Amino acid sequence: MNKYVKLTSLFLLIALTFIGFSIYKAQASSPYSQMKVVTTEGKPEYIEPVDFFGYVSHSQNFSNSSTIEFDEGSFTYLQEKPFLKRMDHSFDPKLNNLVDNYRTFMRGKSRRPEQYTETDQHLIYAGSKTDVDWNSPFNNQMTISVLDKASDEEEAYSVTIGSDNAYNDIYATYIDYPTLTIFVNRSGVSDTSRNLVYTFDIENPTEALTEVVDLSGYLDKNETLSVSQLSDKTERYIPLKTVRQTVVSDYDFRTETSGYFAYDMQAQEVIEIPPFEEETLLFSDNDTIYVGKPLNESIELYEMNPDDKEMTLLGTLEMATPIMGQEDSSFYSDRFNQSVTILDGKLYTYGQEYVDEVSRPIFQITDVHTQETLFKGTVMPKDMTEAGYTTIEVMEYRLDPSRN
């Protein structure tokens, strides 16, 4: 045995150190904080359509920080998911659900949620060749795929978009079955860029997309188009904003909204929306256009008649804090209504609330017609002793219309 003394001691050194390290690690890192929804007003079931990814960090123990998902009313930490599932994970809640539910259909298709629309019977994808083939940036090829959810059958259409090759950025799609409306930013080789609206009739497919409106006329030289984040993308009106960028310095620019519009999918025309003097909120829900005027801790909400642009005051919605409804638009400049949206007559808002040194999200759901607060609340660790040092930040937020 003496002969093996070095080998034995090295083996013991390795085994004991690794075991010791693992035990120490297990003791040092407490399990991830269990989270709970705290309802301060209303009923907790109203928060069910909310689906978000957040980041939980502990000011006392950085190693315990992790991404958390809130889906169907319950919390799951990303680290707790199986390794292979984690690999397929995307940080967009909608896309995650699509991949989970329609894995075969989602294969080979772009990973941008803007390119998917859904009805009760169908899941529709519209993507340019460039979206999946990064080697061919300029072309006019496009695929529209329609999945029949009941039969699980997929119908794919190869169509052309425009007559010449261009970089086609499909930044929004909407469905009024069987008409698919596609918002495309076409940048030609010569660097000219146009914002166009196309349609495609799924029941009577054609070989080329039909161009219906050129939005470029609504945009000045330094303006870009921003589209509203919608939850189910079946609304008749699509809220749009033109955003002006003013260069402040070499490294900085300022953005301000220069115009408000709504695109009518049925009439295929653009309606100009008269803004309020200060700030304006613009929503659409089913067949209604809503315009909101944010006040300090409330929103004055109007319903707008698209024909005569007459505004009817629905009422004043009390907000939990001034930040609600004041969305931070710096994240994605081509989209708005990320933290405030109306879905089926309910106004959903969220914001971050800073208490002492930690930050927590607050959610509020208000009935737009009765102005009743259906839900107001936050997310906190179950163990209240952890609340003082646990920060929860919402990163990606979506509403799932099917759970509304």
Partner 1 sequence: MKKSLHTLLKLTNFEMERLSKFLFTLMGLTLLLNLVGYIYTPMQHMGKINEYITQNSATTQQALDAFGRFSFYDVTQTLWIAGPIAIGVSGLLLYSIFIWYREWFGKNTFAYRLLMLPVSRMSLFFSKFITIFIGIFTLIATQMLSLFIGHPIVSAIIESAYFNDIGLIASIQMNPLFLYLFPLDFSYFLMVNGVGIVVLLVLFTVILMERSYSFKGIAMGILYGIAALSLVLFPFFIPNLLNNQYILYDSELMIIEIVLIVAVGVLSIFTSHHLINKKITV
Q: Which residues bind partner 1 (CB under 8 A)?
A: 3-4, 6-7, 10-11, 13-14, 17-18, 21-22, 24-25, 28-29, 61-63, 83-85, 87-88, 99, 103, 106-111, 132-136
Smallest gap from residue 76 Cβ to partner 1 (A): 17
Instruction: Please give the angle made by the CA atoms of 174, 179 and 183, to the nearest 5 degrees.
Output: 40
What is the pairing mode between strands 141-148 and 122-128? antiparallel
**Measured from the CB atom, is 87 or 150 closer to partner 1?**
87
Give least dist CB 301 to partner 1, A.
Answer: 41
- Rounded distance between C-alpha atoms, residue 290 and residue 311, angstroms: 9
Minimal distance, residue 13 CB to partner 1, in Å: 5
Compare residues 2 and 330 and give the one whose CB is closer to partner 1: 2
Residue among 169 and 223 whose Cβ is closer to partner 1: 169
Q: CA quadruple 209, 212, 217, 223: dihedral positive or negative?
A: negative
Q: Which one, 157 or 177, has the nearer CB to partner 1?
A: 157
- Sequence-distant (≥ 6) Cβ neighbours of residue 12 within 8 angstroms: none
Q: Kindly tell me which of 99 and 324 has the beta carbon lying closer to partner 1.
A: 99
Smallest distance from the beta carbon of 141 to partner 1, in angstroms? 11
- Report, in Å, the least distance between residue 90 CB and partner 1: 10
Cα distances (angstroms) measured from residue 180 to each of 216, 258, 266, 311, 333:
20, 28, 11, 29, 24
Residue 159 or 304: which CB sits closer to partner 1?
159
Indicate the residue among 143 and 337 with the shorter CB distance to partner 1: 143
Q: How far is the CB of 284 from partner 1 (least distance, A)?
A: 31
Query: How far is 360 from 387, CA to CA, in rounded Å?
Result: 10
44 vs 108, which CB is nearer to partner 1?
Answer: 108
Q: How far is the CB of 57 from partner 1 (least distance, A)?
A: 12
Question: How many other C-beta atoms are found inside a 10 Å radius of the C-beta of residue 13?
Answer: 10
- Between residues 168 and 378, which has the closer beta carbon with respect to partner 1? 168
Nearer residue to partner 1 within complex by CB, 107 or 254? 107
Q: How far is the CB of 63 from partner 1 (least distance, A)?
A: 4
CA–CA dist 66, 78 (Å, integer): 7
CB of 27 to partner 1, least distance (A): 9
We find the least distance from the C-beta atom of residue 127 to partner 1, in angstroms, to be 10
- Rounded Cα–Cα distance for residues 361 and 384 (Å): 16
